[in-house]
Amino acid sequence: MPRASLPEGCSDLIDAYKMRAASQKEQQRFILRIAALLHDAFVSQLEPEVLCPRNEELLMQRISDFLHPILLANPELERQIGSSSNLVETLCHVVLANADDEKA
């Protein structure tokens, strides 16, 4: 997946972010913002049965599979987020929270 195919706003956010100078709170905010930007692209390719029974283990695997080519094609994003597990967990929480909101 080429960098240009990242959702709108991701590249600018990555370019503007300086992880080394960021506090833990700023790092968490960055991860949350990236997860929010990736949400729609991820959900558009997700099978509904992954969300219906809230199969979190399968959802985490799908997120990992989704993020892998993005991180390979965008080394700066991979460097900025450090461990991709933070982004996987955050995106999982965002997806589940949005799914719960849609049900309500």
DSSP sequence for 38-72: HHHHHHTTS-HHHHTTT-HHHHHHHHHHHHHHHHH
2: pLDDT confidence band, cut at 50, 70 and 90? very low
For 43-101, the pLDDT digits (tens) are: 888 887 777 777 888 999 999 999 888 888 888 778 777 767 888 999 999 999 888 77
pLDDT the model gives residue 63: 92
What is the model's pTM? Answer: 0.77
For 9-50, the pLDDT digits (tens) are: 777 777 777 655 667 788 788 888 888 888 888 988 888 777
pLDDT the model gives residue 34: 86
User: Quick one: 14 exposed, middle or buried, by C-beta within 10 A (0-12, 13-18, 19+)?
Assistant: buried
